Structure 1
Amino acid sequence: MTVNIYDDINKLEGTFRKTDEFKNLEQAVEDVTSDKEAADLFRTFRDLQLKLQEKQMKGEEISGEEMEYAQKVAQLAQQNGKILEMLEAEMALSRIIDEVNKAMTRPVQSLYDKM
Structure 2
Amino acid sequence: MTQNIYDLANELDRSIRLLPEYKAVEEAKLAIEGDAEAKLIFQDYLAFQTELQGLMQAGQMPSPDVQNRMEEISKKVQENSLLAVYFAKQQQLSIYMADLEKIIFSPLRDLL
TM-score by length of 1: 0.88
Letter in 1 for 2:109: Q
State the number of aligned residues.
112
Q: Which residue of 1 aligns with 2:47?
A: 47
The reply on whether 1:16 has 2:27 as its aligned counterpart is no
Q: Does residue 66 of structure 2 align to residue 66 of structure 1?
A: yes
CA distance in 1, matches of 2:109, 2:45: 37
Equivalents in 2 of 1:49, 1:20: separation in Å? 27
Q: CA-atom RMSD, angstroms?
A: 1.6
1:1-115 matched pairs, under 5 angstroms: 3-112=3-112
Contact 1:16 1:22 in 2 (8 A): yes
For 2:11 and 2:20, the matched residues in 1 are separated by 17
* Identity of matched residues, %: 26
> Cα deviations across residues 32-77 of structure 1 (Å, max 9, x unaligned)?
0100000001111111121021012112342101111111111111
User: Contact 1:32/1:83 (CA < 8 Å) preserved in 2?
Assistant: yes
- Contact 1:49–1:70 (8 Å) recurs in 2: no
After superposing the two structures, state which structure 1 stretch, 47-56 or 23-32, moved more.
Answer: 47-56
Largest Rg, 1 or 2: 1
Q: Normalization by structure 2: what TM-score?
A: 0.91
Following the alignment from structure 2 to structure 1, what is the Cα–Cα distance between the partners of residues 22 and 66? Answer: 33
Question: Gapped runs of 5+ residues in structure 2?
Answer: none
Q: Is the 8 A contact 1:77 1:83 kept in 2?
A: yes
